[in-house]
Structure formats: C-alpha cells, structure tokens
Amino acid sequence: MLGLGVRFVVRKVCAKNAALECYYLKQFAAATQCHPMLSAHRAKYTNASKYKGGKLAGQRQKAIESERERSAPEDEQPSDGGDNRSELIEDREYDSVASTAMHVTKQLLNVQHVAIIQPYIKWGPRKNPTKPELLLQEAEALVRSLPRWNIELTMKVPVETLDKRQLFGTGKLEELRGIIQAHQESGTPLTCVFISKGTLTYSQKQSLEQAFRLPVMDRYSVVVQILRLHAVSMEAKLQVALAELPYIWSQVKDQEGSPKGPAGGGRIFLSDSQRQMLQLRERKLRNELATIRSHRELLRNRRRQKNFPVVAVVGYTNAGKTSLIKALTEEQSLQPRDQLFATLDVTAHAGRLPCKLEVLYMDTVGFMADIPTGLIECFVATLEDAMLADVIVHVQDMAHEACSEQRAHVERTLGKLMHSGERPLSPERIINVGNKIDLVPDPSALAVECNDYGRLHLISSQTLVGVHELLLEVERRVLKVTGRQRIVIRVPMGGPEMAWLYKNAAVTESAADPENAERLLVSVVITDAKLQQFRHLFIRKRS
C-alpha cells in the first residue's frame, strides 16, 4: 500500500487543521495496474473468506460479516410459497389441455426419439440470414438440452415461405413421409417430429401429424419443455406456465379459423369450462407474478440502499454467463451446463473486485433468436433487474459459428429493453466479453474487435485466461459509473473512524503511518456522498 502511496498519491489536505489527511489517488487505472497486490492471483480478491487482514482483520471481518448478514442469499430471492402457487403448477385439468395443444408433458424425463426437420427459405427477400446448417445445429442443441431425448434423424428442407397453410408442398410432404416411414421400419422407431420453426399454425401441424402419424412439435413447444425442466424457483415456474397460454390460445384461434371446423379428429376441443379455466388461470398467474415482482422490487430498493454496485451478466444462451460468474466469484455452487436455457432465474452472486469492493453479479436468462415473442415476454420481466445494473457484461461465445449473429441479436434485444427501461444504455455501462477462446484454434487471429459498445475482452471462463484483466476492467467501469474513488485517509488508531470506514466504504489496505505512530493510513474505495459524510462526522468535529 505504501509503495502505491509513494508513486501515485497526491496529498491533499482535507481540513485546515488537518487532524486527518486525505490522499486522493490520481490516475486510478495506472495505479490499479501497478499495484503489486493487484497483480497477485485473482482468487485472492474474489473470496472474502480467504482474506487475512493483519492487525485489523478482526475489525474488518466483523464489518464484512454484518454486511453479509444483511445481504444473505435469501434476501435476493423472491420468497417462494403459497398453496395457490403450487396448485397453479399442479393442475391436472390444465395439463390435459396443454398436452393436447403442445404435446408437452409433465413426464419431463420420458425417452423420446426425435426426427428434426429444419425448414428454411432458400430464395427471395424473406431468405433467412442464418445458414440452414446453423439453424439445424441450434435445433439439435435444443433437443440435446432435454436429457432423454435422442436425435434419430435430421433433415434440412427448402421452402418458398413458412406461412403457407401447408408448410410443405404435396410432393415434398410425400417425400418426407416416405423417409420417416422407412426409418420407422428399419431404425429406432421415432416418437415425435420436431419442425424447427418458431410456431406452427394449427393447420400446418394438423396436416403434418396426419402425414407422419406422429406428434409434431415446433420450437415454441420444445422450448416450453426445456423451460419446464429448468425452472427451479416458483417465479420461473409461474413464468413458464404463463408463457404457455398464448400458444394454446393461438392454436385454438387457428382451429376455429380452419375451414374444416372444430369437428375433425385430433382437434383441441375446448369446452366452455376449459376456456374459463384458462382465463382464470391466466389472471391468477399474473397476480401471483405481480406479488413476487413487487417483492423483488423491494429487494432491489434494499440493495440500492446497501449501495452494492451491481454487474449484470447477459448474453446468448450457452455463451458462458454462469461460467463467467463462477470464474469471477469462485462460487462453487454455480453449475454451468451445456444446455440451452440452463439458467432461468435472475440470481445475485457476491464477488470482490481487486480493490476489495464487494459487488453483486447478476446471472440472467439467455437470449435466443427465433423464439416467439409471447414465449420470451414473460422472462423479459426477470431481466428488469439486469437492465438497472451499474455495469452490463455481454458474454459472447467466440467458438460458435454464428457468434456475430448471436451478438447482433443480443444487442438488438438489449437496445429494445433499455429503450423501455429507466436507465439509458451508455457505452461506459457495457463491457463486451469474447468467451471460450480456449476452443478457438488460433485466438491470436481474433481481431480485438470494436463496436458501438467498445472493445472486446477475450477470455476463457474455463482456463481463466484473461479473467483477471477482465476483473480490472469491471473494477474500472464500476468505479466510474458509480462515482466511487480510491483514496488514502489518515485516521487515529483505535478511533471510531476506522469502524465507520469498514461499514461505509471498501477498505483496501491499512498500515501504520510511518510519520505518526498513533495514526493509520487507510486505503478505501468510497462514494462522494460517503466521503462528504465522513468529513462531516470526523474532520469538522476535530477542526
């Protein structure tokens, strides 16, 4: 600390009679890079329990613990509970309607043998910008996210448009039927066909099911199945339940508009009481979610009062958001999984910046293109917290072929979310991170790209390459955005000042003052407001 003091500290007398002297650190970024403590292993800073603070360790630890008590994990989670909520999740009458309309099932671990058909528009203005191979890869990744679903057959099928009443022309449908039938006779019998299109209309689905003699699912229903599997908290479960309703209603509407009328075989027939049940269910789900969200709002306010800087980690699904938070915080309980939509709850994880300032990292739900708005809308609310964060880390999977399309999709969605939110998306709040560089054959060939939101920080959350540098960048941005500064304050030994600083600022370092044996030199990270308060409480009193 003192080494740092010699080179970078600009001494500034804070009061006329200067019983206390404040040393403001200039050129913070330079200091951060040069400080010997900061160049030590990152682990030291991200796990408070490992810190041993010398003389004042006890005092410091006490302050941290009292802060921890106030920020216990349950504080961050909306309280689950209530029989009403469980009844909404376990509703047999609803389940039978949902399984007819979507072929989703409560038996999430049932084995399925799936044929994936990826339709794509080959020509014309509506041609899909993403290559059909990549679309198919994403469809395969969706199926692989369900533990006992096996891919038996995959096909890419060019179509003129995705909106025709019959998705495939008669000849093509006949050809596909032949392939599926041949497979049924020779290979492992298929149990369902996944058409990788956002939503199939009722009549598209109907004609495909008749041709293939198998249940047909679209992206919406496969994603619902994944979300059901990964929803852990009550909030996420209720959100998934709400996300299912627009799909069921759209199928019912399509069915009513269908020229054959509602009498055909395999139709979703909704009795009046079932319709009422769906309407009532929607109202109840919205009410319960509103209650949970108002609780979340309360927690958010409490967090603001506590003055923890918040860093939200966002990005395309499977980009490595959870892995990055694990690398930054060393929180072992975090479980990254090679599955799409593995994280469905916005959760907060405490970490420490190199300057010892405690921050909260928010893990968020991943983004995905070609997911119907109705499905993702419900989850957008969970991103509210993330959008209010001080700093937003956008994680990108550099090893993914469609990396730039994924980045563009996330940036577009973020832009929209920010537009409707309380806080503008200024470039200084965004840090772009290129993850998984250990999987890139020649990482040095990756140009350090710049876009509207600045430089791309290349890292691997797995091998930890670049993670320490990223942590320094997070620190720089957090201090800038939240108006914090690093200063050194001289305080009397054993006085109330020290305890106050531990409680109200992040104490980085403390050591005996070589010029005065009765005083300590304390390095802190502090907000302007808290510094004023400190002056008011201690300096004026003494002068």
Residues that bind ligand GTP (CB under 6 A): 315, 317-323, 336-343, 366, 435-436, 438-439, 460-462
Q: Which is nearer to ligand GTP, 179 or 465 (CB)?
A: 465
Q: Which is nearer to Mg ion, 345 or 475 (CB)?
A: 345
Q: What are the two backbone dihedrals, phi and then psi, of residue 491, each rounded to the nearest 5 degrees?
A: -130, 155
CA 539/CA 519 separation, integer angstroms:
14
320, β-bridge pairs: none
Q: b/e map of 212-241 (b: 16 or more CB within 10 Å)? A: bebbbbbbbbbbbbbbbbbbebbbbbbbbb
DSSP result, 476-539: HHHHHHTTEEEEEEEEETTSHHHHHHHHHSEEEEEEEETTEEEEEEEEEEEEHHHHHHHIIIII
CA 368/CA 365 separation, integer angstroms:
10
Q: Which is nearer to Mg ion, 46 or 343 (CB)?
A: 343
Q: C-beta of 367: minimal distance to ligand GTP in Å? A: 8
Instruction: Candidates 32, 77, 221, 343: give the one binding Mg ion (CB under 5 A).
Output: 343
341 binds, among ligand GTP, Mg ion, none (CB under 5 to 8 A by kind): ligand GTP
The SS3 of residue 176 is helix
Q: Which of residues 281-300 bind Mg ion (CB under 5 A)?
A: none
By beta-carbon distance, which residue lies closest to ligand GTP?
366
Q: Which is nearer to ligand GTP, 339 or 523 (CB)?
A: 339
Number of amino acids touching Mg ion (CB under 5 A): 4
Q: C-beta of 389: minimal distance to Mg ion in Å? A: 16
CB under 5 A: which stretch of 133-141, 221-229, 336-344, 395-403 binds Mg ion?
Answer: 336-344
The SS3 of residue 126 is coil
Q: Which is nearer to ligand GTP, 112 or 323 (CB)?
A: 323
Q: C-beta of 342: minimal distance to Mg ion in Å? A: 5
- To the nearest 10°, report the CA torsion of 46, 52, 54, 60: 70
Q: C-beta of 413: minimal distance to ligand GTP in Å? A: 13
478, β-bridge pairs: none
Closest by CA position to 356, among listed 3, 57, 2:
57
Q: b/e map of 505-537 (b: 16 or more CB within 10 Å)? A: bbbbbbbebeeeeebbbbbbbbbeebbeebbee
H helices then E strands: how many in the chain?
22, 16
Q: C-beta of 376: minimal distance to ligand GTP in Å? A: 12
Any contact of residue 364 with Mg ion (CB under 5 A)? no
406 binds, among ligand GTP, Mg ion, none (CB under 5 to 8 A by kind): none
Half-sphere exposure of 281 (CA within 13 A, CB side): 29
Residue 185 makes CB contacts below 8 A (sequence gap 6+) with: none
Any contact of residue 322 with Mg ion (CB under 5 A)? yes
Show the tokens assigned to 278. Answer: 């769906």
435 binds, among Mg ion, ligand GTP, none (CB under 5 to 8 A by kind): ligand GTP
207 binds, among ligand GTP, Mg ion, none (CB under 5 to 8 A by kind): none
Q: Which is nearer to Mg ion, 139 or 395 (CB)?
A: 395
319 binds, among ligand GTP, Mg ion, none (CB under 5 to 8 A by kind): ligand GTP
CA 227/CA 240 separation, integer angstroms:
6
Please name the residue that has the structure tokens 């990549």: 134
Q: What are the two backbone dihedrals, phi and then psi, of residue 47, each rounded to the nearest 5 degrees?
A: -130, 105
320 binds, among ligand GTP, Mg ion, none (CB under 5 to 8 A by kind): ligand GTP
CA 241/CA 355 separation, integer angstroms:
43
Q: Which is nearer to ligand GTP, 138 or 497 (CB)?
A: 138
438 binds, among ligand GTP, Mg ion, none (CB under 5 to 8 A by kind): ligand GTP
Any contact of residue 461 with Mg ion (CB under 5 A)? no
Q: Which is nearer to ligand GTP, 342 or 378 (CB)?
A: 342
Q: C-beta of 446: minimal distance to Mg ion in Å? A: 23
Q: Which is nearer to ligand GTP, 74 or 338 (CB)?
A: 338
Q: C-beta of 530: minimal distance to ligand GTP in Å? A: 34
Half-sphere exposure of 265 (CA within 13 A, CB side): 4
382 binds, among Mg ion, ligand GTP, none (CB under 5 to 8 A by kind): none
Report the Cα–Cα distance between both ends of the chain, in Å, rounded: 27
CB under 5 A: which stretch of 116-124, 340-348, 349-357, 381-389 binds Mg ion?
Answer: 340-348
CB under 5 A: which stretch of 121-129, 318-326, 373-381, 386-394 binds Mg ion?
Answer: 318-326
Residue 531 makes CB contacts below 8 A (sequence gap 6+) with: 22, 485, 487
Q: C-beta of 357: minimal distance to ligand GTP in Å? A: 24
Q: C-beta of 322: minimal distance to ligand GTP in Å? A: 3
CA 63/CA 517 separation, integer angstroms:
24
251 binds, among ligand GTP, Mg ion, none (CB under 5 to 8 A by kind): none
395, β-bridge pairs: 315, 433
**Which residues bind to Mg ion, rule: CB under 5 A?**
321-322, 342-343
